[in-house]
């Protein structure tokens, strides 16, 4: 599909008012998106596990209005949140041609996250995908004959991408690819697609325990970080390595080789942070406890032959990934050895999930 396929035909009747709600999950990338061009187009393909427990619930209510401005209010946990307005305004501007009813309504967006506020967990993926889904659900109700599910998922991901790149991977699950990749026929820079290759049972219900190392605001936003990949000395090498890592991962997902899985996933996490450390200006998002946790995971793996591994987002928190078969043992290890390095001993247990749901 191309951009034009997402420009809707004239609507039947526009409702006067109404409300729609979605719950949309966060996701954790195994091969990372870091670097973009044009209008939210990734420099390399990425793949993620969709999460399950970490999600955003958004209710969008709408009332027909006159005038030609965008009008909306945003509430987080019941409190008006003007801090979100600029991001939503630029999202509305970017998606307007694909949702031409946006200026015709006054919107009230009420949102809440399942994970603690300011936990440092990226809420843009779950938040932007939930909002995109609500808006598209509105469109579905205005469209003669509705919208087919496949088209709906693609357009929801396409819109979510225009809000935040990683949000394009939060519509479906458990594994979603975003970005053109020669080994994945349906893959595209425009939206995320469910990974449809063979997946070994080792990866069923894969566990992700998120260790909350630092709950403060990030010093450098992802958007600034992506921009620093322009003129980055290692950019081209990084983009081609990411695409190669995705090729390796396709084979690993099929054969279930967890040792090779660990190698790709940990290397991706460290390369992401290596890009931050080698950009100009340079920056470091890991904290001493991030490194302490990584070293303890490595030591545990050495003594137990466990297949536990880590990955990182653009922050200090550590995502501990492990097969469902090791759930009890690894949780015991986390509680006794890793939790002491988390802020207030806090961590969130999650696992691969199946995407957004309409409420
Ligand atoms: C490090 O999707 O937050 O989590 O497109 O500017 O909103 P924007 O960036 P964002 O970038 C997230 C990057 C990452 C890796 C990943 O999720 O692939």
Instruction: Give residue 191 CA to ligand 1 midpoint distance, Å.
Output: 14
Ligand 1 pocket: which of 84, 122, 166 to mutate (most atoms <8 Å of CB)?
166
Q: Is 126 near ligand 1, meaning CB less than 6 Å away? A: no
Dump pLDDT digits (tens) for 120-171. 676 799 999 999 999 999 999 999 999 999 999 999 999 999 999 999 999 9
317 Cβ inside 6 Å of ligand 1:
no
Instruction: Evaluate if residue 118 carries a pLDDT over 80.
Output: no
Where in the sequence of the chain do the CATH 3.30.230.10 domains occur? 3-196
pLDDT at 317: 94
pLDDT at 119 over 70: no
- CA–chain centroid gap for 142, Å, is 28
Residue reference for tokens 């965008």: 70
- Phi then psi for residue 325, to 5 deg, are -65, -20
Residues 236-259 have pLDDT tens digits of 999 999 999 999 999 999 999 999
> Which whole number is the average pLDDT over 40-68?
97
DSSP code at position 336: I
Q: What is the pLDDT of residues 171-193, one digit of tens each?
A: 999 999 999 999 999 999 999 99
What CATH code is assigned to 205-351?
3.30.70.890
CATH topology of domain 3-196: Ribosomal Protein S5; domain 2 (3.30.230)
pLDDT tier for residue 218 given thresholds of 50, 70 and 90: low
Q: To 10 degrees, the CA torsion angle through 144, 147, 151, 157?
A: 110
26 CB less than 6 Å from ligand 1?
no
CB 111 within 8 Å of CB 75? yes
Give the pLDDT confidence score for residue 120 in this predicted structure: 65
Structure tokens at 144: 């003669």
> What's the predicted TM-score (pTM) here?
0.97
- CATH 3.30.70.890 residue spans of the chain: 205-351
226 in contact with ligand 1, CB cutoff 6 A: yes
Tell how strand 105-113 and strand 41-42 pair up. Answer: unpaired
DSSP code of 288?
H
User: How many angstroms does the Cα of residue 220 sit away from the middle of ligand 1?
Assistant: 12
What pLDDT was estimated at residue 319? 97
**Is residue 154 in contact with ligand 1, taking CB distance under 6 Å?**
no
Say yes or no: CB of residue 207 within 6 Å of ligand 1. no
Give the per-residue pLDDT at 222. 86
Alpha-carbon gap, residue 36 to 232, rounded angstroms: 12
């Amino acid at each position: 599909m191309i951009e034009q396929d997402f420009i809707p035909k004239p609507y039947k009747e526009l409702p006067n008012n109404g409300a729609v709600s979605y719950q949309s999950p966060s996701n954790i990338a195994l091969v990372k998106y870091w670097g973009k061009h044009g209008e939210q187009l990734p420099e390399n393909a990425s793949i993620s596990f969709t999460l399950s427990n970490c999600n955003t619930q958004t209710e969008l209510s709408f009332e027909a209005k006159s005038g030609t401005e965008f009008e909306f209010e945003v509430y987080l946990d019941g409190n008006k949140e003007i801090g979100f307005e600029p991001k939503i305004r630029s999202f509305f501007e970017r998606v307007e041609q694909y949702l031409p009813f946006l200026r015709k309504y006054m919107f009230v967006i009420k949102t809440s996250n399942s994970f603690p506020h300011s936990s440092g967990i990226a809420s843009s993926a779950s938040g932007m995908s939930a909002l995109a889904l609500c808006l598209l659900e509105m469109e579905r109700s205005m469209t003669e004959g509705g919208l087919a599910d496949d088209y709906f998922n693609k357009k929801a991901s396409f819109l979510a991408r225009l809000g935040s790149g990683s949000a394009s991977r939060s519509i479906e699950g458990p594994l979603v690819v975003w970005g053109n990749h020669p080994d994945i026929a349906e893959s595209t820079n425009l939206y995320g697609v469910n990974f449809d290759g063979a997946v070994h049972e080792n990866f069923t219900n894969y566990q992700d325990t998120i260790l909350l190392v630092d709950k403060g605001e990030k010093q450098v936003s992802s958007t600034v970080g992506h921009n620093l990949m322009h003129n980055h000395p290692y950019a081209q090498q990084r983009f081609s390595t990411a695409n190669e890592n995705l090729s390796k991962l396709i084979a690993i997902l099929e054969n279930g080789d967890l040792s090779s899985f660990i190698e790709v996933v940990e290397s991706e996490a460290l390369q992401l942070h290596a890009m931050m450390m080698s950009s100009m200006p340079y920056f470091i998002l890991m904290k001493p406890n991030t490194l302490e946790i990584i070293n303890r995971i490595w030591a545990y793996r050495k003594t137990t032959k466990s297949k536990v591994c880590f990955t990182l987002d653009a922050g200090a928190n550590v995502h501990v990934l492990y097969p469902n078969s090791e759930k009890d043992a690894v949780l015991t290890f986390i509680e006794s050895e890793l939790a002491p390095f988390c802020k207030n001993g806090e961590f969130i247990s999650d696992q691969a999930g199946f995407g957004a749901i309409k409420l």
